[in-house]
Amino acid sequence: MSGKPERYTIGLIQMRCEPEPAANMDKAIARLQEAAKSGVQIACLPELFLSPYFCQREDPTLFDLAEPIPGPRTERLAAVARQTKMVVIASLFERRAAGLYHNTAVVFDADGTILGLYRKMHIPDDPLYYEKYYFTPGDLGFRVFPTRFGKVGTLVCWDQWYPEAARLTSLKGADVLFYPTAIGWHPSEKAEFGQRQHQAWELIQRSHALANGVYVAAVNRIGHEGPAGGGLEFWGASFISDPFGTVAARASHDREELLVYECDPKHLEDVRRHWPFLRDRRIDAYGDITRRLID
């Protein structure tokens, strides 16, 4: 590590998303200000927090929700970061050009400058998660951002199922992987599969913490969106895993919450010394990872 490692406090803002973007922006700003008052130094909002999860249907008018980056909304968020001296990670629907859109995480440093963007690399397309219609897969690769308080990596939702994404972001030096997320249950499936689905989601992300010796912080929305009996019930359960895959903090399934946790670079160093997985990687033998199937 360079210099003396200092502890820093991260905060996850688990929220319900209202119908109107303006209301969500106001709520997010208020929560960010509360987080700063609670000592949070790096705060992360859920995926696409400015609107209901519009990917439940394919509708060309919904591209109106997208915005340029930088733009008026990133200016508002930048002002909050600057005012609170807090790093802010915000997931936005990016309009890059006419007909070209991304699902993008913006990282604001504690002085309000945009450190950079991460454009969601893995895009799902499953019933009620029709993201391939809206988002072009990211072309910026896997990214880390040297914020004032710590070096963080950003990944988004569906990325969480891919060990490669966590590995590459960690190899770039991330100490924390943030996963803004919008995942929930299909109400008709919840009774039979709901618990296993949530557990799988937590498990795969804890495994990234463990395999790479990094903190993982996943922040989800809550609430039901869509028609009664249909739609999606977002399962909340935002959580933070320590570098040994232990859940250090976990939010409820159904309440708005601020999850606060202090990350300790010394603990990360200690875990990696005792479980030195990075030492023994067979990089001479991993080349076929870039194949679709080895058939």
Could you tell me how many residues of this chain bind a second copy (CB under 8 A)? 51
| Subset of residues 24 to 53 that bind a second copy, contact rule: CB under 8 A | none
* Contact string (CB under 8 A) for a second copy, positions 265-284, x = contact: ----------xxxx-xxxxx
Helix H segments across the chain?
21-37, 72-84, 131-134, 163-171, 187-212, 265-274
Binding mask 120-139 for a second copy (x = CB under 8 A): -xxxx-x----------x--
Shortest gap between Cβ of 53 and a second copy (angstroms)?
A: 18
Cis peptide before 70 (omega within 30 of 0): yes
3-state secondary structure 223-234: EEECCCCCCEEE
Taking CB under 8 A as the criterion, the residue among 207, 250, 262, 270 binding a second copy is: 207
Residue 293 to residues 118, 137, 285: CA-CA distances in angstroms? Answer: 27, 20, 15
Site for a second copy in 55-74 (CB under 8 A): none
Question: Which member of 18, 51, 76, 164 binds a second copy (CB under 8 A)?
Answer: 164
Told to judge if 132 belongs to the known catalytic residues of this protein, a careful annotator would answer no
Told to judge if 157 belongs to the known catalytic residues of this protein, a careful annotator would answer yes
What's the burial of 239, exposed, middle or buried (CB within 10 Å: 0-12/13-18/19+)?
buried
Q: Taking the complex as a whole, how short is the minimal distance between the CB of residue 121 and a second copy, in angstroms?
A: 5
Query: Does 192 engage in binding with a second copy (CB under 8 A)?
Result: no
Burial pattern 195-209, b for ≥16 Cβ within 10 A else e, equals eebbeebbeebbebb
Residue whose tokens read 């591209």: 63
Question: From the candidates 27, 47, 55, 67, which is the catalytic residue?
Answer: 47
Stretch that binds a second copy, among 20-28, 34-42, 171-179, 257-265 (CB under 8 A): 171-179
Q: Contact region for a second copy (CB under 8 A) — 17-25, 103-111, 261-269, 286-294?
A: 286-294
What gap in Å lies between CA 29 and CA 78, rounded to an integer?
A: 11
Shortest Å, Cβ 117 to a second copy: 15
Q: Which of 153, 145, 148, 233 is nearest to 186 (CA)?
A: 233
Nearer to a second copy, 205 or 238 (CB): 205
Tell me: does residue 191 bind a second copy (CB under 8 A). Answer: no
Instruction: Report the residue from 15, 81, 168, 216 that binds a second copy according to the rule CB under 8 A.
Output: 168
CB of residue 251 to a second copy, shortest distance in Å: 20
The whole-angstrom separation of Cα 44 and Cα 31 is 10
Q: Shortest Cβ distance from residue 172 to a second copy (Å)?
A: 5
Residues 6+ apart with CB under 8 A from 238: 12, 14, 46, 181, 218, 219, 220, 250, 251, 257, 259
Q: Is residue 54 at the binding interface for a second copy, with CB under 8 A as the rule?
A: no
Q: Is 55 a catalytic residue?
A: no
- Residue 197 CB, shortest distance to a second copy, in Å, is 9
State the alpha helices, DSSP H only, in 85-174. Answer: 131-134, 163-171
| Beta carbons within 10 angstroms of residue 137's beta carbon | 13
CA distances in angstroms from 30 to 37, 112, 244, 273, listed in the order given? 11, 17, 33, 40
> In the 8-state DSSP scheme, what is residue 35?
H
Question: Which positions touch a second copy (CB under 8 A)?
Answer: 121-124, 126, 137, 141-142, 158, 161-165, 167-168, 171-173, 196, 199-200, 203-204, 206-207, 210-211, 244-246, 275-278, 280-295
Q: Which residues are marked as active site?
A: 47, 120, 157
